[in-house]
Every structure is written in C-alpha cells, then in structure tokens.
Amino acid sequence: MTTARPADITPTRTDGVLTYAQVGDLPLESGAVLPDVTIGYDTDKYFVISPNMVGGCYGSTGPSSPAPASADPEGRPWGSRFPLVTIRDSVHAEKRLLDALGVKSLHHVIGGSLGGARAAEWAVTYPGLVRSCAVIASGPAATAEQIAWGHMQNLAIRQDPGFAGGDYYPGPGPVTGLALARRIAHTTYRSAAELHFRFGRDAQDGHNVLHPLTAERGRYQVENYLDHHGTKLTNRFDANSYLAINEALLSHDLGRDRGGLDKALARTTCNWTIAYVDSDRLFFPSDSQILAAALPNPVEPAVIHSPCGHDGFLIEHEQLERILATSIEAQDAADEAKPRGRKHLWAVA
C-alpha cells in the first residue's frame, strides 16, 4: 500500500489526518483528496496520511502490479488472477498501515461516496479506534440498483475484445470498454435536471442530429460531454483496477456476517455525521436516511442542496465545509472534556 504524508509530521504528534482520494485511488502528486477541498486542515496540527486503495493503479498493489515470485516466477502482472478486495478488506489493510505508523486513535473518519463506505466500515470494524465518523453521499450497503449500474459498467469492459480475459498487459487493454463504462457511471454521478439545464436537446455546433441517414447523424451536446469524460479516464486509469474498485463498492454491506445492519451499528461508539445530496441518484437520500436511523443514537442527516446529483458533494464546497466544521468542532469539544495524551488521527475517505 502506498501513502503520502507531510515529511515534517510524525505519528507522535497529537492530531492527524488520513486522506483518501474521492474515488479511492489517485496519483499521490495530484493533491485530489477530499479534505484539501472541504476542510482546509492545518498540516502543522494534524498528521496527514493519504493511502491509495488496494486494487487501484497508483502505487498500492493492484491488477497491473507484478505478481510475487510465489504466484508468478516471471513477475507478470496479476491481471485476471487479482483477488476480490472488499471494502472491509481495504479497512483491514489500512489498519495495518496505521499500526505500522504507531497511530492508536482516530479523531475522525470522513468519506464521500466510495470513501463514505470505507469510513462507515472503519467505525463498525474498529469501534475502539474511531471517535467520530462522517459519511457523505453514501449508504449502509450497495443497493440492487447500484449493483445493476455496476454490472453494466463491468460488462462494457469485459466484453471489449481488448480485455483478453483480464490479461491484456502490456497492451493497451479494453480502452473502448473502459470509456463506455465511464460514460455509464458518469450519468449516475449527475442529475437529470442538471443535464437538461446544461445540454437539453442541443446539438454540437455544426452537427445535424436529424440527418436522414442514421449512420451519419451528428451528435448531441450531452453525447459529446459523456465521450469527453470516457476518453479522459482511459488516459489515466487501468481497466482491471476499474473493475477491482467497482467490485469493492458492490461488496459494501455493513451488516454482512454481523447479524444485519442494526446489530452491526450497535457495536459502534463514535459520534456520527450523515449527509446526502438532495438530487443524488446514485446514493439516494433514502440510503443516508436508513443509515442515520439505524444508528444506536439516530441522527438527523444534513442535506447538501445541489442540482448536480451525486457529484454535488464535490461541487458544493461551502455547504460541505459547514457540515464537517460542525462535526469537527463537536469532536474537539468532546476531546477537551477528556484526559489528553492519546494519539489522534483524522481519517478522511
């Protein structure tokens, strides 16, 4: 597992931050982590760690990583042999990272979307470590509809001839399928109202969308928008890693092997903050409401008002800042009332 952290901060300091990229896996140099956008954390005060998710393609072991000699004496990439890594598996791996760094307590675990699933899993799996958990635009488990959307994305990749059963290295792989998967996913990240407002039925400049020959029909603006995002992803992401991270999200279920959601959450002892985007159609508001109501001490979810759908939590910075600031201040106040001397960590997913 690879991680980034400020060189001048050590785990012996009082407070810290563990940061994840929004999608769980981004280049370490990108700086594209949730707290940079929403919290404005003080690296002179908080210990900052940024682990990339196992299964990705930016340093932590993933399908494109060379397999160990015990699995492949020739050191070829894992490819189709890469195992399923669930959200729970990722949390266990991150716990080992924190153990290696000497971190004993988490001031906050904060996550949005996939990161929200990881944050909630942290609170349930290691209740003695987590003091506050904030789950943004996520839910207690992947729903049937989310699994259906994920299935279409996975098929788009696997049915591309370039996929070659997952063993396409060192070739380019299923570029067409990966771009199509991203188009499908990106549609779920935005709202119908926003797409209508931005694009409506407008054609690209110079395109005739009513050409008498369908093979020569021009493109609608919304088609061009999705094509752009599909192509953009293929320039920076591995198709097998897309599958691995997608499967991880589909595996998310806090209640699995724990007697259901209520029993799983009953083991938690942390303070909770739950927030949703009111126009989200990937993680519906009801997903957050179900999680909030099932807590040992139910909370009222905060609402992020945005026309932009699921991505609203990444766009409405000021609203999210206020929500997280309230959570942060509440935990700081709780800590002030307790004896000092523990090691603290902020975990931001």
For residue 43, the one-letter residue type is T
Reduce the DSSP state of residue 343 to 3 states and report it: coil
Dump pLDDT digits (tens) for 260-273: 999 999 999 999 99
If one compares 115 and 342, the residue with the highest pLDDT of the two is 115
280 carries an active-site annotation: yes
Cα distance between residue 78 and residue 56, in whole Å: 12
pLDDT at position 185 is: 98
Please say if the pLDDT value at position 326 is more than 70.
yes
Which domains can be identified in the chain, with CATH numbers? 3-53+86-142+253-348 (3.40.50.1820), 147-248 (1.10.1740.110)
Q: Which residues are annotated as part of the binding site?
A: 182, 311
113 carries an active-site annotation: yes
Dump pLDDT digits (tens) for 22-75: 555 554 443 334 444 445 555 666 676 777 889 988 888 999 999 999 988 999
pTM of the full structure? 0.90
Dump pLDDT digits (tens) for 201-243: 999 999 999 999 999 999 999 999 999 999 999 999 999 999 9
pLDDT at position 100 is: 86
pLDDT at position 103 is: 82
Q: Which residues are annotated as part of the binding site for substrate?
A: 182, 311
Cα distance between residue 5 and residue 153, in whole Å: 33
Q: Which of 280, 306, 327, 344 is catalytic?
A: 280
Q: Which of 50, 90, 113, 132 is catalytic?
A: 113
310 carries an active-site annotation: yes
Dump pLDDT digits (tens) for 126-172: 999 999 999 999 999 999 999 999 999 999 999 999 999 999 999 99
Cα distance between residue 28 and residue 129, in whole Å: 26
Q: Which of 107, 108, 252, 310 is catalytic?
A: 310
For residue 295, the one-letter residue type is L
